[in-house]
Amino acid sequence: MDTESLKPMLSILIWGGLFFLMMRFGCGAHMMGGHGRHGGHDAGGGATDKETKDPVCGMAVDRQKSTAASTYAGKTYYFCSITCRDKFEGEPEKYASGASREEPQPGGQHHG
């Protein structure tokens, strides 16, 4: 086999490797359920001290980077999206107790 015939195969392998890394550690990790599968969470699967759970959908939310927050009964709640915040503010007693969480949609992209 000459080296010219190996170039297409090498190109496919490189692109495949880059695709794998992107799906595992980049944007694809969010679609597959978040970065929690490879770190960032404690051993119990809960949120770290910088993170909290969105009371509406249960996603891990970084308190410092959250785009939406709401205060109810003297406690601040952080949300992954404005959509979740609006749902919370519509029925805060339902979500503040933690008993009623919506199931995340497949792919992890369930908000507008």
Per-residue pLDDT of the chain (112 residues; tens, 9 = 90+): 688 888 999 999 999 988 888 877 776 665 555 544 434 433 344 455 788 999 999 889 999 888 899 999 999 999 999 999 999 999 999 998 865 555 554 445 455 4
Domain limits at 20? 1-39
How many domains does the chain divide into? 2
The vertex-104 CA angle with 40 and 88, nearest 5°, equals: 95
Quick check: is 112 in a domain? no
Taking the C-alpha atoms of residue 39 and residue 27, their distance in angstroms, rounded to an integer, is 15
Q: Based on the domain organization, do 49 and 96 belong to the same domain?
A: yes
CA distance 52 to 96: 13
| Domain presence at residue 107 | no
Contact at 8 Å (CB) between 62 and 41? no
What is the enclosing helix (H) or strand (E) of 104?
none
Residue 9 main-chain phi, psi, to 5 deg: -65, -40
pLDDT the model gives residue 19: 86
